[in-house]
Structure 1
Amino acid sequence: MMRSTKLLFALPRSGLVKEYAPALTRLQSTSAQPAAANSKRKERAMNKAVKPSKSFVMNMFRGATVTEQVIPYPNVLTEEQVETLEMLVDPTEKFFQECNDAAKNDSLEKVDEDTLQGLREMGAFGLQVPADLGGVGLNNTQYARLVEIVGSHDLGVGITLGAHQSIGFKGILIAGNPEQKAKYLPKVASGEQFAAFALTEPTSGSDAGSIRSRAVPSEDGSHYILNGSKIWISNGGLAEVFTVFAQTPVTDPKTGTTRDKVTAFIVERSFGGVSHGPPEKKMGIKASNTAEVYFEDTKIPAENVLGGVGNGFKVAMEILNNGRFGMAAALSGTMRYSIKKAVDFATARTQFGRRIDTYGAIQEKLARMAMLHYVTESMAYMISSNMDAGSKDYHLEAAISKCFASEAAWTVTDEAIQVMGGMGFMKDTGLERVMRDLRIFRIFEGTNDILRLFVALTGLQFAGGHLRELQQALKNPAANMGLIVDEGAKRAKRAIGFTDTGKIEGVHPNLKDSGLLLGRAVAAFGASAEGLLLKHGKQIVEQQFLLNRLANAAMDLYSSMVVLSRASRSLSTNLSSCTHEEKIARVWVNEASDRIQLNLTAMRSATSISNFEDLASISKDLCENGDIVAQRPLGI
């Protein structure tokens, strides 16, 4: 018999996840409401039907393989869009090879003005702005291909462009009204004005709810007065247009109560009271301007509210979720650069009478670098195609792609340096700059640690909703017999260790064994997710050792699905590289399946749980001591 699931899935808002998982607050009570009202609201929430999702990742959490968005591997470009892209790829590649000097930009700690002007002339500052508003009018997939080129040449320039259009004015593009778009997009698309995204504050990083910047409406309601500061703002010292997030008083028309909620604003430097600090000195992406930005009695017209008063969290998340696929595309370009460097060196370097690419140790490095690139590239273009096809269910996939790409690119570049030995460590080779530039990608636009929690908790919320539906069905068995029988049969088979997931439709016959592995892994993952919910209920948010392993398993599942889909398409269309891609997919899925099993086992292993407790205690000892706790070996 199933345990009662009542209120088990009302996951509370955690300070760590509130910026990235606002959906997790939907069932959570607020202390400001009377107990009776809380009870009624919870009951309504519990009875609310779960919104269906086409997301492969979301459905994995309930043990289901929903493949509509992943098989066949999507490609939504029309012939006309392909022709447009072909016209842009070669000139962009040529520009970065001949006109941009990444080492010079890094040394100057700014993008050379000639490079900026060249980018303006190419339309690089408004790639996704509609043509009638002065932009190039590219869709997400076309955009991904061009930022891949930028990522392969200069991540400092990439951040300058990305901070401008991927997040800087993206809010205007996706949430602005017609008047706002007409007023601002032409100038930012031309590069006449830089844009910046101003969210982070000294006391507000991942916990965006702790924003202290405040915008107070005037008595006549014609404008807001903004005061506050933002830190680590890319393009902060250059921007003329800012998307700024600040607390504003919002009155509930039903209750008459007023409380602060975050609102997004379009702020011009010309409004007055906007200033910035000196450029930050950074480890990498030195060419990208990063500065603190200050707002002192800045007068913002009421018509510059973006996305509605009190909707700032929603706007911020839409911007960040919408742009993450671009990071994976750019970093797949970076990996191509690093791999090419390593391959060129390995095939030219002779040691002990043989080229070093003939040694197994080097072969494994190069092969694993190629696999990481293949997964990252496959994710980037699958997600961009899903978005272009009109999907709204891609947020978890985009978060996974950001985590995976930023970690894969770091590993690939690190291994490229290792293959090249001392030569790779030298500045003239170019990889040391890439290594420095890459480090920030695991931190900004949502740290990978927070995004893992976002993936795990959002997926669990979805799975919990389906369990809640089953609970409601059990109250009226006669009317819901089909659902009850299906779920009962699934649990019975699971209880005796049997799953009948079978092959995943659309996987090429050459990869059928890999497809079976993936299908079984999804079923095991769903069972583990359900087990966590039943055991921990709403306290699961505090079980971050477990959530991290669940998220890592989710990343391996999605990456496996992506490479199986892409390799299957290559095999079906007999691409010249199809045999190579088949090998990559087979090895990746085999090894990913082992990692998934290891992570899922760790979530229920008594030894692992004991290890987690010891790790928490070790960390506590360290922080309480303020330093290393273990005594020195020599005692002095």
Structure 2
Amino acid sequence: MNAQHGGAWLLGDTSPSEVFTPEDRSAEHRLISATALQFMEQEVLPRRDDLEAKDWPLTRALLRQAGDLGLLGVDVPEDLGGVGLDIVSSVLVSEAFGRYASLATTAGAHMGLCIVPVLWFGTEAQRARYLPRLASGELVGAYALSEAGSGSDALGARATATRLPDGGYELNGEKLWISNCSFADLYVVFAKVDGQHFTAFLVERTTPGLSPGREEHKMGLHGSSTAPLLLQGVRVAGDAVLGEVGKGHRVAFTVLNYGRFKLGAMTTGGMRQALRDAATYASSRRQFGKPIAQFGAIQSKLAEMATRLYVTESAMYRLAGSLQAEGVAHQDLGRVFEQHAVEAAILKVLSSEALQYVLDENVQIHGGNGFVRDYPAEGAYRDARVNRIFEGTNEINRLLLAGQLARRAARGEIPLIAAARALPDEWLAMAPPTPEAPVALVRHVAAGLRKCTVLLLGAAMQRYREALAEEQEVLTWVADAAIEAYAVDSVALRLARVLERDSPVAAAHREAACLAAVEGALRGDALLRRALPAVLDGDTLRIALAGARRMLKVPAIDQRPWRRDLAAACLARPAAVFG
């Protein structure tokens, strides 16, 4: 059993040597990151206004430039026209694109929702036909899954694929909210063969009967295309099927796991940009005779923004390392992502909500200037809102990850029930750390959050059994506990790795980790007070609440020195707070 996926990490301590951290990036990784960031800085950001005006030829030209640099083909093997780099390299490219959300959305739909399904599920002929041109940017891809009546319920699609005598299919229906729709060349389209067999198809733009609709008037992402796709008597050959007839759910859901992971990478890029913008603005904006960066309220905001970034990238690189450790070829990664579905959903929820917090605080630090379009803070705030809807809403992701944890436990794939029964003896042995031992503090909270998640899920499974799937509030609480546990556990492991290396910015790591742990413990305690009464009662509830308090107990600590020091690091090194 891999201790890094499927929730297995809940059941014991992970060795720091088993995880990948941002500090483990190689020289080649840093070169790839520099290339992608330079592309964004020199080619994309100066053209933001034109992109916001929906200059699609410019968008396509930028994608072609990105293709020439190898940025679009990081996931594609060299023999299929890509550069065949590792998963961490793919993360770094997505982080760079995340500096401008509209291009991140365009590139994400092209790379993650078109290139990846062709790579993972395409035949040799389909891969040879499309991947070289997709990797170069000659072709642009799109992904047509959602419909008016089937957003989160993807299998409720009504688009049809009628079998033809020549072995082909005729597609009819309408797809909604399709990124890249107005200018894509190749669409991954989902429809039901004979009205019941959910299936994926590759459909070229030039196919008669296929037509993009009018652009949606969106809250944000004005520099990306979002439109409906109309299918009226669209005839495709039998070899247009992607994967197998009736197995479209495998294509859809596996690719969405990948999309959730990559969304985490894009959001960290957005957070890093916002933190830099906020620190730079706070240093220059003067009120009451001095820069607002000198005020404690602003310093606390910067510290919290940095902490949310630290937590998210710790979790993201941990997941990237776990995926990479499987050591399989790019075209075989679909199976690996299925195994990491719990962690991908955790990262999606964690990252999208952290980004929204960071961008909201960025607007607040900018004050009135954050509310006008002259400053990037306003646009970034609007653009980020959709991330909690993309790749499955955060509500759906919470239900998915909690449900999958319960199913794995019920099947015996993770011995969660036995672990839950052993908790009373364990929490009696847990001694809370002192404020003078920050590393022990972070490890204590990480262990406590893991055990509390086991306690809550185990009790929920025993109380509701097969009916647990209908208790969405309980599943949501379980998911929140698991998200908090994975986040702080990832931070604890990263901090241990950093302190082994005697990093010159170790202090910033310690401060961010301690803030994450203390706040995580407080949130975890409040969560369990809400959740445990839904799964336990009487003396059992009182004992469980007492045990949870012990597992999450942290000393009363004055956080101001941590926050002030971390804010100082943000102001001194706004582009590289943690190195």
Instruction: Give TM-score scaled by structure 1 length.
Output: 0.76
CA distance 1:130–1:499, shift in 2 (3 Å):
farther
CA displacement at 1:133 relative to structure 2: 1.6
CA displacement at 1:423 relative to structure 2: 2.2
Please tell me the residue identity of whatever aligns with 2:255. I
Residue 474 (structure 2) pairs with residue 546 (structure 1) = yes
For residues 263 and 228 of structure 1, the distance between their equivalents in structure 2, rounded to whole angstroms, comes to: 14
Residue 375 (structure 2) pairs with residue 429 (structure 1) = yes
For residues 511 and 238 of structure 1, the distance between their equivalents in structure 2, rounded to whole angstroms, comes to: 51
- Which residue number corresponds to residue 321 of structure 2? 385
Please tell me the residue identity of whatever aligns with 2:181. G
- Which residue number corresponds to residue 76 of structure 2? 129
Asked if 2 retains the 8 angstrom alpha-carbon contact of 1:335 and 1:412, the reply is yes
Asked if 2 retains the 8 angstrom alpha-carbon contact of 1:57 and 1:554, the reply is no
Asked if 2 retains the 8 angstrom alpha-carbon contact of 1:326 and 1:380, the reply is no
CA displacement at 1:53 relative to structure 2: 5.1
Residue 525 (structure 2) pairs with residue 597 (structure 1) = yes
Residue 207 (structure 2) pairs with residue 271 (structure 1) = yes
Quick one: higher RCO (CA 8 Å, sep 6+), 1 or 2? 1
CA distance 1:282–1:499, shift in 2 (3 Å):
same
For residues 191 and 470 of structure 1, the distance between their equivalents in structure 2, rounded to whole angstroms, comes to: 47
Structure 2: runs of 5+ lacking an equivalent: 327-335, 538-579
For residues 458 and 372 of structure 2, the distance between their equivalents in structure 1, rounded to whole angstroms, comes to: 51
The C-alpha deviation readout for 1:524-546, integer Å capped at 9, x for no partner, is 22121111111112222222222
Residue 465 (structure 2) pairs with residue 537 (structure 1) = yes
- Which residue number corresponds to residue 124 of structure 2? 178
Asked if 2 retains the 8 angstrom alpha-carbon contact of 1:147 and 1:330, the reply is yes
CA distance 1:57–1:599, shift in 2 (3 Å):
farther
Counterpart of 1:206 (choices 152, 161, 179) is: 152
Structure 1: runs of 5+ lacking an equivalent: 1-51, 250-258, 472-486, 504-508, 610-636
- Which residue number corresponds to residue 559 of structure 2? none
Please tell me the residue identity of whatever aligns with 1:394. H
SS in 2 for 1:536: helix
Residue 285 (structure 2) pairs with residue 340 (structure 1) = no
Moved more, 111-120 or 285-294: 111-120
- Which residue number corresponds to residue 9 of structure 1? none
CA distance 1:180–1:66, shift in 2 (3 Å):
farther
Counterpart of 1:149 (choices 64, 74, 96) is: 96
- Which residue number corresponds to residue 92 of structure 1? 36
CA distance 1:406–1:573, shift in 2 (3 Å):
same
Please tell me the residue identity of whatever aligns with 2:48. A
Q: Following superposition of structure 1 onto structure 2, how do residues 212-223 of structure 1 map, counting pairs within 5 Å? A: 212-219=158-165, 222-223=167-168
- Which residue number corresponds to residue 557 of structure 2? none
Please tell me the residue identity of whatever aligns with 1:151. G
SS in 2 for 1:604: helix
- Which residue number corresponds to residue 7 of structure 2? 58
Counterpart of 1:228 (choices 159, 173, 186) is: 173
CA displacement at 1:501 relative to structure 2: 7.3
- Which residue number corresponds to residue 241 of structure 1? 186
SS in 1 for 2:11: coil
Asked if 1 retains the 8 angstrom alpha-carbon contact of 2:259 and 2:391, the reply is no
CA distance 1:512–1:275, shift in 2 (3 Å):
same
For residues 387 and 323 of structure 2, the distance between their equivalents in structure 1, rounded to whole angstroms, comes to: 22
SS in 1 for 2:98: helix
Moved more, 231-240 or 111-120: 111-120
Asked if 2 retains the 8 angstrom alpha-carbon contact of 1:159 and 1:288, the reply is yes
CA displacement at 1:326 relative to structure 2: 1.6
- Which residue number corresponds to residue 399 of structure 1? 345
Asked if 1 retains the 8 angstrom alpha-carbon contact of 2:148 and 2:175, the reply is yes
Instruction: Give TM-score scaled by structure 2 length.
Output: 0.83
CA displacement at 1:191 relative to structure 2: 1.2
Please tell me the residue identity of whatever aligns with 2:269. G
Residue 519 (structure 2) pairs with residue 574 (structure 1) = no
For residues 183 and 283 of structure 1, the distance between their equivalents in structure 2, rounded to whole angstroms, comes to: 37
The C-alpha deviation readout for 1:484-506, integer Å capped at 9, x for no partner, is xxx4x973x54578455799xxx
CA displacement at 1:510 relative to structure 2: 5.4
Q: Following superposition of structure 1 onto structure 2, how do residues 511-530 of structure 1 map, counting pairs within 5 Å? A: 511-530=439-458
For residues 64 and 415 of structure 2, the distance between their equivalents in structure 1, rounded to whole angstroms, comes to: 57
Please tell me the residue identity of whatever aligns with 1:324. R
Percent identity at matched positions?
Answer: 32
CA distance 1:57–1:347, shift in 2 (3 Å):
farther
- Which residue number corresponds to residue 547 of structure 2? none
Asked if 2 retains the 8 angstrom alpha-carbon contact of 1:110 and 1:289, the reply is no
CA distance 1:592–1:534, shift in 2 (3 Å):
same
CA distance 1:502–1:132, shift in 2 (3 Å):
farther
Asked if 1 retains the 8 angstrom alpha-carbon contact of 2:20 and 2:320, the reply is no
Counterpart of 1:452 (choices 361, 380, 398) is: 398
CA displacement at 1:232 relative to structure 2: 0.7
Asked if 2 retains the 8 angstrom alpha-carbon contact of 1:324 and 1:398, the reply is yes
Please tell me the residue identity of whatever aligns with 2:306. A
For residues 500 and 466 of structure 1, the distance between their equivalents in structure 2, rounded to whole angstroms, comes to: 27
- Which residue number corresponds to residue 486 of structure 2? 558
Q: Following superposition of structure 1 onto structure 2, how do residues 47-126 of structure 1 map, counting pairs within 5 Å? A: 52=1, 54-55=3-4, 58-59=7-8, 64-65=11-12, 67=14, 71-74=17-20, 82-100=26-44, 101-111=46-56, 112=58, 114-126=61-73
For residues 17 and 463 of structure 2, the distance between their equivalents in structure 1, rounded to whole angstroms, comes to: 34
SS in 1 for 2:176: strand
Q: Please tell me the root mean square deviation across aligned C-alpha atoms, in Å.
A: 2.9
CA distance 1:551–1:132, shift in 2 (3 Å):
same
Asked if 1 retains the 8 angstrom alpha-carbon contact of 2:139 and 2:184, the reply is yes
For residues 607 and 574 of structure 1, the distance between their equivalents in structure 2, rounded to whole angstroms, comes to: 45
CA displacement at 1:396 relative to structure 2: 1.2
CA displacement at 1:458 relative to structure 2: 1.0
For residues 430 and 599 of structure 1, the distance between their equivalents in structure 2, rounded to whole angstroms, comes to: 35
Aligned length: 521
CA displacement at 1:118 relative to structure 2: 2.8
CA displacement at 1:216 relative to structure 2: 2.2
SS in 1 for 2:196: strand
The C-alpha deviation readout for 1:263-318, integer Å capped at 9, x for no partner, is 11112223322111122221111111111111222222222222212111111111
CA distance 1:499–1:314, shift in 2 (3 Å):
farther
Asked if 2 retains the 8 angstrom alpha-carbon contact of 1:56 and 1:65, the reply is no
The C-alpha deviation readout for 1:22-64, integer Å capped at 9, x for no partner, is xxxxxxxxxxxxxxxxxxxxxxxxxxxxxx553456236xx61
The C-alpha deviation readout for 1:322-366, integer Å capped at 9, x for no partner, is 232221111111111111111112223333344322322112111
Asked if 2 retains the 8 angstrom alpha-carbon contact of 1:365 and 1:415, the reply is yes
SS in 1 for 2:249: helix
CA distance 1:606–1:329, shift in 2 (3 Å):
closer
CA displacement at 1:262 relative to structure 2: 0.9
Please tell me the residue identity of whatever aligns with 1:445. E
The C-alpha deviation readout for 1:417-466, integer Å capped at 9, x for no partner, is 11121222232221111111111111111111110111111111122223
CA displacement at 1:552 relative to structure 2: 1.1
Asked if 1 retains the 8 angstrom alpha-carbon contact of 2:23 and 2:498, the reply is no
Moved more, 535-544 or 106-115: 106-115
- Which residue number corresponds to residue 478 of structure 1? none
- Which residue number corresponds to residue 112 of structure 2? 166
- Which residue number corresponds to residue 566 of structure 2? none
For residues 426 and 34 of structure 2, the distance between their equivalents in structure 1, rounded to whole angstroms, comes to: 54
CA displacement at 1:607 relative to structure 2: 13
Asked if 2 retains the 8 angstrom alpha-carbon contact of 1:427 and 1:433, the reply is yes
- Which residue number corresponds to residue 365 of structure 1? 301
Moved more, 341-350 or 183-192: 341-350
The C-alpha deviation readout for 1:546-581, integer Å capped at 9, x for no partner, is 222221111110000111111111111111111210
